[in-house]
Amino acid sequence: MSSAADYQMHRKYLKVILGVGILLMFVKFFTWWITNSNAVLSDALESILNIGTGFFALYSLYISNTPKDKNHPYGHGKIEFLLAGIEGALISLTGAFIIVKSGYNLVVPIEVTQLEAGIALTVFSGGINLLMGLVLLKRSKTFNNLVLESEARHLISDGMTSVGLIIGLVLILFTGQVWLDQLVAIAIGILILRSGYKLLRTAIAGIMDEADLKLVREIVEKVNKTRKPEWIDLHNFRVIKYGSKLHIDCHVTIPWYFNQVEAHDLIEEFEREVDRHCGDSVELFVHTDPCEPPEMCKMCAVKNCPHRKHPHKVVVEWTVDNVTPNKKIYLQNEGSEDG
């Protein structure tokens, strides 16, 4: 499937989720109206965020897929981190409001009514949100799309919140202890705050180009398993996220005596291997370095090398720790910088 087709399908997913979210918002507020429960209100307020972030997600998806231009040579993918930041701020404010209101109603109690109907409607709305979130999360992982992942995790969080809400309503129904409603609402508010913090953390990390060591580890481990003997060394490996797009810079050391055509073909093999693991979401820039005999001969597995100065002893496994420094691996215990 082409990237354009993927984009159109992403939009369809988000439009359906937005439409369903609007319907579920009315269901949740109706549930609050008949129960007068703060815990249910907290769930209903979060549904407003689902709608707002749904619109943000659609707009963000459009902007992030706008072609690169002179003013944005790396594309427009950073808008996805802005989306995550806005979502995180809104979610955090909602969580704080729920905690304050519920704390007040611990002192000034309110009556809770029609719990059976409230439980049934919450099961319905929470189940749909959880299902939509899981489907969208699977798609976000397939296409490495932060917009879809952000929306998916919000929906899953909403669904899990509903699970806690249902448990709380059932306890109130069987015990008659109305004050439990406020405790459940406060617990939900704390979970919402935690969710908001995580999204804000993701947004700040993306905007600040913080290294995603987990992602680097995944890519390096996969490439390490299929490396060619001629890829003698990998270092200065950096991954920068532009939304769902990845920009990778690295240095690959190859035999010094290869001509330009041989070096080009060898690096193309390396690029294809990275693409195989990252898909078309990656933009890769590779700087080639010549090997340095006799020091590097010990870690070079090239067979029948006409310029070998030392017998091959060991192939050093590539890891996050030894491919990210801007030094060839054999120099990393020394103080010299590598270009």
In CATH, what number is assigned to the domain containing residue 227?
3.30.70.1350
* pLDDT score, position 116: 92
Please name the amino acid found at residue 254.
I
337 lies in some domain: no
Q: Say whether both 149 and 202 belong to one domain.
A: yes
Pairing of strands 245-254, 233-242: antiparallel
Give pLDDT, residue 295. 85
208 vs 124: CA distance, rounded Å:
40
Does residue 339 form part of some domain? no
Q: Is position 336 within any domain?
A: no
Q: Looking at residue 124, which CATH number applies to its domain?
A: 1.20.1510.10
Same domain assignment for residues 304 and 242:
yes
CA-based R_g, the chain, Å? 26
Tell me what pLDDT residue 1 has.
Answer: 41
* Distance separating alpha carbons of residues 61 and 73, to the nearest angstrom: 18
Q: Do residues 26 and 139 both lie within one domain?
A: yes
CA distance 241 to 282: 9
159 and 175 in a single domain? The answer is: yes
pLDDT in tens, 275-293: 877 765 678 889 999 999 8
Same domain, 190 and 223: no
Range of the domain at 112: 3-207
Picking from 207, 223, 241, the residue at the C-terminal end of a domain is 207
Q: Same domain, yes or no, for 93 and 159? A: yes
0.85 exceeded by pTM = no
CA distances from 77 to 2, 60, 83, 243, 245 (A): 18, 8, 11, 4, 7
Final residue before a domain boundary, out of 207, 230, 261: 207
Region label for 278, one of left (φ > 0), alpha (ψ between -120 and 50) or beta (otherwise): alpha
Q: Give alpha helix (H) positions in the chain.
A: 3-35, 38-64, 79-107, 115-143, 146-175, 179-207, 213-225, 260-278, 320-323
Q: Report the C-alpha dihedral over residues 185, 186, 188, 191, rounded to 10 degrees.
A: 170
pLDDT at 2: 43
Identify whether 96 is part of a domain: yes
> Could you count the other beta carbons within 10 Å of the beta carbon of residue 213?
12
182 and 274 together in one domain: no
Does residue 169 contact residue 119 with C-beta atoms inside 8 Å? yes
Q: Are residues 133 and 224 in the same domain?
A: no
Per-residue pLDDT tens, the chain, 339 aa: give them. 445 677 788 888 888 988 998 999 999 999 999 998 888 888 888 787 778 777 877 776 777 667 777 777 666 667 777 777 887 888 788 888 888 888 888 888 888 889 899 999 999 998 998 999 999 888 887 876 666 777 888 788 788 778 888 888 898 888 888 888 888 888 888 877 887 888 788 778 777 766 678 888 888 888 888 889 999 999 999 888 776 677 889 999 999 999 999 999 999 999 888 887 776 567 888 999 999 988 889 889 898 899 998 888 887 889 999 999 998 988 886 554 565
Which tokens sit at 329?
């691996």
329 neighbors 291 (Cβ within 8 angstroms): no
24 falls within a domain: yes
Task: Count Cβ neighbours within 10 Å for each residue of 141-161 and write b for 16 or more, e otherwise.
Answer: eebbbbbbbbbbbbbbbbbbb
DSSP letter for 126, please.
H
CB 140 within 8 A of CB 149: yes
Verify that 186 and 233 share a domain, yes or no. no
What is the number of domains present in the chain? 2
> Mind listing the pLDDT tens digit for each residue in 122-144?
999 989 989 999 998 888 878 76
- Do the domain assignments include residue 277? yes
